[in-house]
Chain A
Amino acid sequence: MTSSSAPSRKALSKIACNRLQKELVEWQVNPPAGFKHKVTDNLQRWVIEVNGAPGTLYANETYQLQVDFPEHYPMEAPQVIFVPPAPPHPHIYSNGHICLDILYDSWSPAMTVSSICISILSMLSSSTVKQRPADNDRYVKNCRNGRSPKETRWWFHDDKV
């Protein structure tokens, strides 16, 4: 329960580096619809612009995702949060933390940044109300010293995504 600054800032392993470079190339060739990633020098942190899908509650809205990769990516999941202001959503906390199993327990090294993005967009798109989680304030208070969502023990009970 103790705090620690966001992701461990250990440099990427060789394999992580290699994989991310290839993901980046693939992204440039074939970016997931609705996402924009401005390539920077920093391979370890991607900031990705998300456009709400047309016809959903988040249509014409733009949010930013921040993806931080751990040393042992892809064996370990990246940390993915919305840069506040996060979209109001029943499973997205106002500090940007996203309660989505594939980012935590259900991560698989076969997933990619691109597949994560699609999942997040699908999570947004299926929302029927723009509303914070009921326990938002409590959770955000718990995390106020910069705790990573990867340290939260999430409880995934909602399959409606």
Chain B
Amino acid sequence: MGNKLGRRRQVVDEKYTRPQGLYQHRDVDHKKLRKLILESKLAPCFPGDEECTCDLEECPICFLYYPSLNRSRCCMKSICTECFLQMKTPNSTRPTQCPFCKTSNYAVEYRGVKTKEEKGIEQIEEQRVIEAKIRMRQQELQDDEERMQKRLEISSSGRMVVPGEVEYSSTSVPASRFPVEGEEIVASQDSRAPLTIRPPLQTRQNRYFLSINDVESLASNLGCRVGSPFYELEESGKRRNPAYGDAAPSAQYVTGDRFVSPEMALPAESSSSPSGGLACAIAALAERQQIGGESSLNYNGNMSAFNMLPGRSRVSSGAVQDVENYTPTESSNEVSPDSRMAVTGDDGEWGVDHGSEVAEAGTSYTSSDTIEEAGVAALPPPDEIEGSFQNVTGRPIIPESFEEQMMLAMAVSLAEARAMTSAQGVAWQ
């Protein structure tokens, strides 16, 4: 179980095998906890630091700093062991939800201290989240204008309905009530309200959410619901079905993770490539480097994500691809431009943007992707072969140093951004 590639065994001091008293834990099996910590399945209960010194990670729940944290399977968010132990809601029959993305059956894994690479990648992701926020703000301004115009057109009709007056079914209720957008972008992602999904919204989502890995905070901000008090006097038959209660929030969380997690819940065994996006891809790349030439697992699990997220999983799905599998097939037409844009020697310059057709071509070389393609540099058009590619012998060229990996990561990120602005990207001759 877990990740045999990523986990680094460590000897844990006995005193860190039990909670440090952050919370009053009830129902914690201390023996079990100790065992899990000693087996490196959960992060040790280090006492959290108030200040961030050197290489500590912040737990997003208690805001304390730790040498290492657990990660949720669904969305890779960190959490300290003591906070994790609090997540099980007592007196609830519902499966525990991930506090970050609301995926049900919340589970974490422990992979030891984050590598430098992973940290660097996180910084990049953060940067991208900030950029996305700026774009969202701009969009909001635009939306405001649209909204004003809409309002002029909409006559306020049939507004709030008193609970109990109408036979609500959880799926139907207010879905199509008012076609206003803005924050509703998120609500309309809810699969229970397909009526509200209108093409313009869709494109906007793609533009903003698919490209970023880490907007749970935004997501949870916006993915919320309103309603009215429930009166017990009114027929209990209209009560919210508990099962529905679970379904609802999980349908609400947004962003890339939304698309990835349901699938990834299953192949979690192969979690060294959680296909959480660029960050994970590159983390996987880094990890792969660490394990040397060991051939990678079968990442079929990524295919579903691949299909849903052509823009991104392209990057993630193949980071772990075994080079030997890469056979130049008829899809080479699509591939070659990529290779040209691949790493050129030391400067690690990247460009990306194969248009959408590459996603199509995915079937022929399912898990190939920019990173590996570039690393392999399998098919540079003859005229593009640089001297630096001479040493390609079928072993993947993977950036050796951290700096190179960082550059690579940044370049991919840049290229992605570029790809977003220009749909088809660079025109190949």
Contact = CB atoms under 8 A, between A and B. Distances in A.
B86 A135 contact: no
Interface in A135-161: 135, 139, 142, 152-161
Contacts of B114: none
Interface stretch (A40-48, A61-69, A114-122): A114-122
Contacts of B410: none
A154 B228 contact: yes
Contacts of A112: 217
B182 A110 contact: no
Given A55-B147, A122-B221, A125-B182, A157 B228 contact: yes
Given A128-B156, A153-B230, A157-B168, A106 B225 contact: yes
B187 A161 contact: yes
Interface stretch (A4-12, A78-86, A95-103): A95-103
Interface residues of B, number: 65
A159 B229 contact: no
A160 B178 contact: yes
A104 B142 CA distance: 31
A3 interface: no
Contacts of B221: 111, 115, 118-119, 122
Interface in B371-426: none
Given A123-B226, A133-B228, A158-B225, A75 B23 contact: yes
B99 interface: yes
Contacts of B192: 159
Given A22-B63, A159-B190, A161-B226, A110 B100 contact: yes
A90 interface: yes
Interface of A is mostly: loop
A155 B163 contact: yes
A91 B228 contact: yes
B173 interface: yes
B32 interface: no
A152 to B, nearest CB: 5
Contact of A18 (B64, B227, B245): B64
Given A19-B63, A125-B182, A110 B227 contact: no
A125 B61 contact: no
A53 B144 contact: yes
A28 interface: no
A39 interface: no
Contact of B163 (A74, A157, A161): A157
A140 to B, nearest CB: 10
A54 B182 CA distance: 13
A56 B144 contact: yes
B30 to A, nearest CB: 20
B283 to A, nearest CB: 22
B174 A157 contact: yes
A29 interface: no
Interface in B172-201: 173-175, 177-178, 180, 182-184, 187, 190, 192-193, 196
Interface in B137-155: 137, 140-141, 144-145, 147-148, 151, 154
Contacts of B23: 13, 15, 75
B147 A56 contact: yes
Contacts of B151: 57, 128
A53 B148 CA distance: 12
A155 B144 contact: no
Interface string A14-33: 01001100110000000001
A131 B224 contact: no
A161 B87 CA distance: 26
A119 to B, nearest CB: 5
Interface in B259-290: none
B154 A135 contact: no
A115 B220 contact: yes
Given A18-B64, A74-B61, A119-B221, A161 B159 contact: no
A159 B99 contact: no
Nearest to A139: B229
B245 A161 contact: no
B252 to A, nearest CB: 8
A100 B163 contact: no
A54 B224 CA distance: 22
A125 B178 CA distance: 13
Nearest to A109: B61
Residue from B173, B227, B230 with most neighbouring chain A CB atoms (10 Å): B227
Contact of B225 (A18, A23, A156): A156
Contact of B183 (A33, A91, A122, A157): A122
16 contacts: A55-B141, A55-B147, A91-B228, A106-B224, A110-B77, A110-B100, A115-B217, A122-B182, A122-B222, A133-B160, A153-B229, A154-B228, A157-B174, A158-B173, A158-B225, A159-B225
Given A108-B97, A115-B221, A119-B224, 16 more contacts: A54-B144, A55-B141, A75-B86, A98-B226, A99-B228, A99-B229, A100-B225, A108-B100, A111-B221, A115-B217, A128-B154, A134-B161, A134-B162, A142-B229, A153-B229, A157-B163
